[in-house]
Amino acid sequence: MMHNKSVAELSKELESGKISSVELTQQLLDRLKNEDGKYNSFITISDEQALAEAKAADEMRAAGKATAWTGVPFAHKDIFCTNGVRTTCGSKMLENFVPPYDATVTANFKAAGAVCLGKTNMDEFAMGSSNESSFFGAVTNPWGDKRVPGGSSGGSAAAVAARLVPAATGTDTGGSIRQPAALCGITGLKPTYGRVSRYGMIAFASSLDQGGPMARTAEDAALMMNVMAGFDPKDSTCIDREVPDYTATLNEPLKGLKIGLPKEYFSEQLSPAMEEQVRNAVREYEKLGATVKEVSLPNAKLAIAAYYVIAPAEASANLSRFDGARYGYRCENPKDLMDMYTRTRAEGFGNEVKRRILVGSYALSAGYFDAYYLKAQKVRRLIQQDFINAFKEVDVMMSPVSPSPAFVQGEKTTDPVTMYLEDVFTIAINLAGIPAMSVPAGFVDGLPVGLQIIGDYFSEARLLNAAHQFQQVTDWHQREPQ
């Protein structure tokens, strides 16, 4: 049952010679093709390339040049450019786009000898909280009939939860790693902004987007961070700072860890059943030697309003490149240049993307720039300062990830504002640029609940340590959907 093993376990199996990478890859490809019809978690399965990478990995291992990742299969969210493999970003606009280069994250995994099985489904251009805006159809959460997996990295989350792959990359602009990880019962980490290169990661909102790992365990997420993190001169927002070995501190005891509970995150927006699961998880930390106190993030209530000015504004600028002139979709038989621009964009983008482009263009327009965009950036600074102040008192903060468990497909698609409120506990973290992760922490109505662990800048190792220690005394991360 190789599909039930974690990245760390598979790495040991390959190292011991009990299985070859080619055999392992073929097993997972067969399972993926048999099972994914239920979930629609993949857009592209790259079997030929995966088997070629597996063969090369076996040769690397035979030559004594193996890393922890050599020969281990995984998947990329379809937002990372992959040389020679279709990269769609979940949009008709890029339905047939095959990049001539690799994203830095893609290149890092290749260099480590990992085997990419394909590209996972996602909300179009990473815009959504339910994975229902994909041009390639909605993804279904393995935990519930017709439940959403969360978005935008819902394909990655569903694929890991359904044991189709042991791990997958994701991206997080306002909660898009943590919310699907929570709704699908897996572990997901959004690193500090600038810790992971964004080169070759198709942009939604450049000051918020951050790539990160999605896996079953904190140990696997640490193994992924060892590959993903690091300075990249091709990305001007990437920070030149030494990268620790994220697995080195996983087993440090938590005695004396100071945990803060932001009172604004335990509000009436949170269902009592969800709150109970989160507080039960915090009690486990107290048993492990941590101390708990209440902290305040007074400007947290402004996060959604600020985010939904800043993110659409950046999206409207980033998505202006998709005009039919250079690459991607182009409308048929345009009358003139203006007709080509307008029809290409009208036909190529879905409703959610159009909505955000319109909001962003409005916020950036001459008469409203100061009133909206500039004000939102000032609010962002206040939110950031709240976190800086709180981390003077505590080491980490803990909160829910989402206000409720996975909802039914179609339940919120007609009400964008209700959908946007799904990110009420995650968005402020992106505005501040700090790291946070979701860890499986229980169930409500048979559906997974995530505990959010929030850290100060570049404290990913501490978050992974806290998550790993929790996973040593609980088994929520080992539960699998029927």
Quick check: is 55 catalytic? no
Quick check: is 296 catalytic? no
Rounded Cα–Cα distance for residues 13 and 107 (Å): 24
Rounded Cα–Cα distance for residues 192 and 24 (Å): 33
Q: Which of 5, 77, 119, 412 is catalytic?
A: 77
CB 228 within 8 A of CB 196: yes
Q: Can you tell me whether residue 13 is helix, strand or coil?
A: helix
Rounded Cα–Cα distance for residues 244 and 251 (Å): 15
Which residues sit opposite 396 in a β-bridge? 259, 455
Of the chain, the end-to-end C-alpha distance in Å amounts to 15
45 CB-near residues (< 8 Å, 6+ apart) = 29, 32, 33, 36, 117, 118
Q: Can you tell me whether residue 190 is helix, strand or coil?
A: strand
Burial class for 24, CB neighbours closer than 10 Å (0-12, 13-18, 19+):
buried
Question: Which single residue is written with the structure tokens 């990160």?
Answer: 212
CA dihedral 116, 118, 120, 125 (to 10 degrees): 100
Q: Which of 134, 152, 316, 399 is catalytic?
A: 152
31 CB-near residues (< 8 Å, 6+ apart) = 3, 163, 164
Q: Which of 6, 91, 133, 176 is catalytic?
A: 176
Closest by Cα among 232, 380, 233 to 314? 380
Quick check: is 176 catalytic? yes
Phi, psi dihedral angles at 381 (to 5 degrees): -65, -40
Active site residues: 77, 152, 176
